[in-house]
Amino acid sequence: DQQVKQNSPSLSVQEGRISILNCDYTNSMFDYFLWYKKYPAEGPTFLISISSIKDKNEDGRFTVFLNKSAKHLSLHIVPSQPGDSAVYFCAASVGNQFYFGTGTSLTVIP
Partner 1 sequence: GAGVSQSPRYKVAKRGQDVALRCDPISGHVSLFWYQQALGQGPEFLTYFQNEAQLDKSGLPSDRFFAERPEGSVSTLKIQRTQQEDSAVYLCASSFRRDTEAFFGQGTRLTVV
The answer to whether 96 contacts partner 1 (rule: CB under 8 A) is yes
By the 10 Å C-beta count (0-12 exposed, 13-18 middle, 19+ buried), 104 is classed as: buried
Q: Rounded to whole angstroms, how far apart are CA atoms 1 and 108?
A: 31
Of 8, 12, 26, 45, the one binding partner 1 by CB under 8 A: 45
The torsion region of residue 71 among left (phi > 0), alpha (psi -120 to 50) and beta comes to: left
Return the number of the residue (15 or 107) whose C-beta is nearest partner 1: 107
Of 10, 82, 102, 109, the one binding partner 1 by CB under 8 A: 102
Q: Is the dihedral of CA 51, 43, 20, 72 positive or negative?
A: negative
CB of 76 vs partner 1, minimal distance in Å: 19
Of 36, 63, 92, 108, the one binding partner 1 by CB under 8 A: 36
Return the number of the residue (4 or 66) whose C-beta is nearest partner 1: 4
Q: Using the 8-state DSSP alphabet, how is residue 109 labeled?
A: E
The residues of the shown chain that bind partner 1, judged by CB under 8 A, are 4, 6, 31-32, 34, 36, 41-46, 49, 89, 91, 93, 95-103
